[in-house]
Structure 1
């Protein structure tokens, strides 16, 4: 099969979209398929053996390190030259819309993967365009041959925009990387040495308004913890001023990230506009109890009281109170942490991408669409 992936983000940007695209490409290559990538400039021109067609981009206002792809005739030329069997649209908004238009002109079926709540993203940056963004997102996904959503909350959101052909397609977790065995007691001890007996409570992710990291200072007054903040982004400087006692590690990857995850005592996520929330899976795989908002993607990932705790993001003090509950209950931390690896043990990236290759791509191919319609 020949698969063209048009993505809103790829290396050197590191985020959920880039991560999932990387795993899709890796698995496609492992199974002998041919791949073309189309992504915003700048960046590498080849990933492994896969050519990456880079198109013109502009920096997003308020987030200068995130380029947004612009309409470019190179997209249709690249697709026409590659002659794909299917076009994979990764989190289509700007460049993805161009890829969708090109695929329709060329008569190539398109699978759209919904991954980013752009309306919620805009709201956190003070842009009052949620209704207009919703109409645009709905239009893109209604015109795709099939839309894949990562959670029931996302499915409900797109259904409300009039999108009908919706299918759950979740995300994998690198079980060979993340696990309780990665815990480094000495690392945990370094974090908490200022207060013997305290716990390391960590956040991992982009430090940006759309992640609602402005809630992290709620934990500053909570005794018995040392806050560990992993990641980077436009909110980092503000957080460092508000949380002078916290440990900021910057962005981490690979084994360094896996060791930090496993060495935490509690993992906290603050974002309530998450369509999925990959870091929750990684914390669960690491055997770390999770605290997450009762909204969006986390509702599918956290079984409250069994694999983590959910807090009410609309209730003042709920985040702090929920973390305090875990900090004060060793047995609850142990129980939730032990349940995490079991909850994700079947969510390998190979399994997830094989579903894409074996089920969702074939479903939109011309012969199969005719058979399904009959």
Structure 2
């Protein structure tokens, strides 16, 4: 495709099982991507669970799966008359969209957002390699499978994935920016912040167990919140925050702590950096791809040590690194990896 994203208006259909009212990085990424593509004059439509009946995932009610027929999905996809089809998730809608493309000989792209094999293994007696086998099968017929970081690309290649393409993430630097501390001022400092789902795969307990003076603040909710709140009564749990309240929380923190070892990127890291808040994290996929300037954050297998070091960093360096992540650059990578839906890739034939 031509790398100029504004040459001609294109109809782009994105299929996703993750959508509002879920609050997560996948939804924020897709919404921000669509906004940027539309600003370039493209038509972006979504096939999401919104109009369908859904059922909650066992042990994880925040995530719901669509109850939808093959005929309904096929009709909606045909009516979209999309020039490009992107399948963002591997759930029921993604699976039906994949089938539609293969049956009708339409090329498509996919993206890898979430480590479901690790998440499933943490909750169910399902070996990771079984899940990776399904995911390889799912993504193999795509013309490109987009991944957010070089580290994840290497990991997936080692698991047997192919035709992997980089699609980075951005951050809204106008919304998330440095400023005065307006929240948590009644709590003892320093203020250590976590933002995200409160669930086992996010490793939130590693943050809560840190032996550091001050106040730990958790923004978000999830299946583990109740028992963690009982186990750590000294921690400030504030639930979900949105808009200006969320932005104020980031810039009011002294350090942003990212305890997850399983995320594929970590949009919240870039939001914290853009707010001028240094980050402490483990040296794993996601954080090590983002925290490329040691003046902006600290990577260490000793999370407590990482936090203590990040408390000494200058906020200006965090903001400078955060400014390098733009939705314009992210959308350009995405757009450049798209393929015309009318072109059938030769190797697709084997995957039907």
TM-score using structure 2 length: 0.89
CA contact 2:272–2:279 (8 Å) conserved in 1: yes
Distance 1:24 1:119 in 2: 26
CA 1:241–1:169 in structure 2 vs 1: closer, same or farther (change >3 Å)?
Answer: same
> 2:13, 2:82 within 8 Å by CA — same for their partners in 1?
yes
How many residues are treated as equivalent by the alignment?
336
Counterpart for residue 6 of structure 2: none
Partner of 1:47: none
Q: Secondary structure at 1:303's aligned position in 2? A: coil
Look up the match of 1:48.
none
Query: Which one of 250, 256, 270 corresponds to residue 261 of structure 1?
Result: 250
1:211 is displaced (CA, Å) by 0.6
Secondary structure of the equivalent of 2:110? Answer: strand
| Superposed displacement of residue 368, structure 1 | 11
Higher relative contact order (CA 8 A, sep 6+): 2
CA RMSD of aligned residues (A): 2.1
Alignment of 1:74-85 (within 5 A): 74-85=72-83
The equivalent position to 1:243 in structure 2, one of 232, 235, 238, is 232
Structure with the higher helix share, 1 or 2: 1
Structure 1 partner of 2:186: 190
Q: Secondary structure at the match of 1:3?
A: strand
What is the rounded CA distance, in whole Å, between the counterparts of 1:86 and 1:262 in structure 2?
Answer: 39
Unaligned stretches of 5+ residues in structure 2: 1-9, 347-352
Q: CA deviation at 1:289?
A: 1.0
Per-residue deviation, 1:71: 5.8
| Equivalence for 1:104 | 102
Counterparts of 1:1-374 in structure 2, within 5 Å, are: 1-40=10-49, 43=50, 54-70=51-67, 72-73=69-70, 74-181=72-179, 183-184=180-181, 186-192=182-188, 198-219=189-210, 221-222=211-212, 224-303=213-292, 305-312=294-301, 318-327=302-311, 332-334=312-314, 337-357=315-335, 359-361=336-338, 363-364=339-340
Separation (CA, whole Å) in 2 of partners of 1:97 and 1:125: 23
Q: Which shifted more, 348-357 or 281-290?
A: 348-357
CA displacement, residues 274-300 of structure 1 (integer Å, 9 cap, x when unaligned): 100111111111111100111111110
Query: 2 CA distance for matches of 1:162 and 1:68?
Result: 27
Gap change, CA 1:32 and 1:106, over 3 Å in 2: farther
How much has 1:68 moved relative to structure 2?
A: 1.9
CA 1:342–1:139: 2 relative to 1, 3 Å: same
Tell me the alpha carbon deviations over residues 108-144 of structure 1, each in whole angstroms, 9 at most, x when there is no partner. Answer: 2211111111111112324423111100111111111
Per-residue CA deviation, residues 20-76 of structure 1 (Å, 9 max, x unaligned), is 111122223323322331112xx3xxxxxxxxxx34432111111210235621111
- The answer to whether the 8 Å contact 2:11/2:44 transfers is yes
Q: Which residue of 1 aligns with 2:7?
A: none
